[in-house]
Structure 1
């Protein structure tokens, strides 16, 4: 059974002290244009799309691998992922000399699959048919773990993953403080909840007045449903979203335990608004964002939260998208 321990502030700081030596200090960009367009006092974008391996996932992956025993590290690890955790774990494994096997759905973006291989990971593909793809991939990863003796890692349902991902929040808090700014609102994309769990904890401890909003794709609002029900809840299998990295049907137990100690609220965005946000990020911020990474910006631009006169932090989580797919998305915006 997965641990639901909620990491405390000391653990978050310990993880960040370790991972900051191996990850990129991603920029905090201020946009006066976005502030004017939305009525916000100030808008800051935390560009995790510029992290090593193209997303925030490298933070949690590196910290989790550092928790392995020498024997576990020698044998290696296996995990399932549609792409960003795959790349983050593969990159972390390569830097630490730990063998990594990734199980990916056959319809995961080819760019993410090839990038994962480029970091030296072995990639195993699964065909899920009409079943939930994460369930099929997870079952295959468990099978490989049992037959090959590899340590099975979960991409988000792990307290140590939550602790590692919190580095994005701690880093943003430091950057805001250096500017003499306190965020009134944080908008953060959500798939399984590992990032929002860590970010929410960081702000809960160090900036309790900040409101944190979880942004999910329409049809994949497992966190919103869980918060509304007061217990973990899975939403029905929906049509595919362009937000490939956010298609979990329910949050993990460990992230949800962390989230429920804070005051996170959830909202949803549709594919059309995400496409427009990708275009805006490219034109106004000079950032290339994948759909999942642009969902928080879509929530801001779509008026999903009243930001009038407030200071807003938008977490732009990833930029792992091929040129061909990026052009398809923005041309359909």
Structure 2
């Protein structure tokens, strides 16, 4: 029995999709290399027109649809936008079923690109049930987001490009949800003229491909994830087989590391990624021994993050670094005491960004509580501000976020 996807399929996909897909840059990051203790190269798939790599597989698959027939897909957002955009470009009517909790920015963008959108289900697998039902009722062709050899071949063009752009890569790291991107890259890497290891990365909330490859019971930690694009409960059968055949290891990373990676890419590389687009960097930070002293390509696979989520992640990142702090102050409720607090903080070269006043939560009727949010250089600077307040006889403590 032949392979489900071959390097010839990926080369053909590259030729078929042609200029309809951006050849995104692969850039060395000196700063991230220093932080991670290895040579980091970033593949900016978040710069695709639809904001992710998904247009590659979608375009390749849509080219096989018979003229005049409509298509339907289920997606948490990025496959949806790829199908919607390239369907419109090819004159194909598209319907997308998305989970009910899909970020608004992805829903709006998918509709703007010309698709009819239905919001059904708690995750993509529940959305898939509705999509398959509609496909049968309306005679629509179902475009699977990852468990389809033509889609996988399209995604594999990412790996082909990376190894053309830097033939000396030792490791390629990418997000894994259903496994389509990692599978395509693994096939592409297997045809390179020197060994290249492909490593996947998943959130601790949805480690289902990692668990399946290790043949172990579920290790999922309950709760929502910032990496909604890879929140897949049932990995593909085809993709599982390809990853297993190519000895692809899937690392599980924490939600905290994903948030940190989003914030770092924004601040250091001046690029916006979604949670799934940050998991490769999160893996490089959480597993430094795996990547030390290698040339490592990280796929920033998507940038379609809800602006509110990005805002929260950015502020939480500042808090983790000790640059944004909550300070609880209790002081006598007499004239001039608030001015004293403000002056001490200003003299310490910190900045007050918010003040909340609570006259009922203090220890006495003649005292009051202030909760301050202050900007500082780092944690040491924050502690210095606290010391200055206490030296002036003011009771002050840092409050956890």
Give the TM-score, by structure 1 length: 0.91
Instruction: Output one character per residue of 1:266-299: Cα deviation in whole Å (capped at 9) or x when no partner.
Output: 1111111111101111111111001111111111
Correspondence for 2:204 among 218, 226, 234: 218
Q: Is the 8 A contact 1:78 1:141 kept in 2?
A: yes
Instruction: Output one character per residue of 1:57-88: Cα deviation in whole Å (capped at 9) or x when no partner.
Output: 00000000011122xxx121011111010011
For 1:44, the equivalent position in structure 2 comes to 41
Q: State the alpha-carbon separation in 2 of the partners of residues 49 and 121 from structure 1.
A: 21
Matched, 1:191 2:177: yes
For 2:272, the equivalent position in structure 1 comes to 288
Q: Is the 8 A contact 2:125 2:233 kept in 1?
A: no
For 1:84, the equivalent position in structure 2 comes to 78
Superposition deviation, residue 301 in structure 1? 2.0
Q: State the alpha-carbon separation in 1 of the partners of residues 164 and 246 from structure 2.
A: 20
Q: Is the 8 A contact 2:59 2:86 kept in 1?
A: yes
For 2:338, the equivalent position in structure 1 comes to none
**Structure label with greater radius of gyration:** 2
* Unmatched 5+ stretches in structure 1: none
2:65 alignment partner, SS class: coil
Q: Is the 8 A contact 1:90 1:119 kept in 2?
A: yes
For 1:97, the equivalent position in structure 2 comes to 91
Q: State the alpha-carbon separation in 1 of the partners of residues 201 and 227 from structure 2.
A: 11
Q: State the alpha-carbon separation in 2 of the partners of residues 164 and 280 from structure 1.
A: 29
Cα RMSD, aligned residues only: 1.9
* Unmatched 5+ stretches in structure 2: 318-401
Instruction: Output one character per residue of 1:195-214: Cα deviation in whole Å (capped at 9) or x when no partner.
Output: 00001111111155112111
Q: State the alpha-carbon separation in 1 of the partners of residues 289 and 236 from structure 2.
A: 25
Superposition deviation, residue 221 in structure 1? 1.2
Q: State the alpha-carbon separation in 2 of the partners of residues 8 and 208 from structure 1.
A: 17
Q: State the alpha-carbon separation in 2 of the partners of residues 249 and 51 from structure 1.
A: 26
Distance change in 2, residues 1:322/1:220 (3 Å): closer
For 1:26, the equivalent position in structure 2 comes to 24
Which fold has the larger relative contact order, with Cα–Cα distance below 8 Å and residues 6 or more apart in sequence?
1
Q: Report the count of equivalent residues.
A: 317
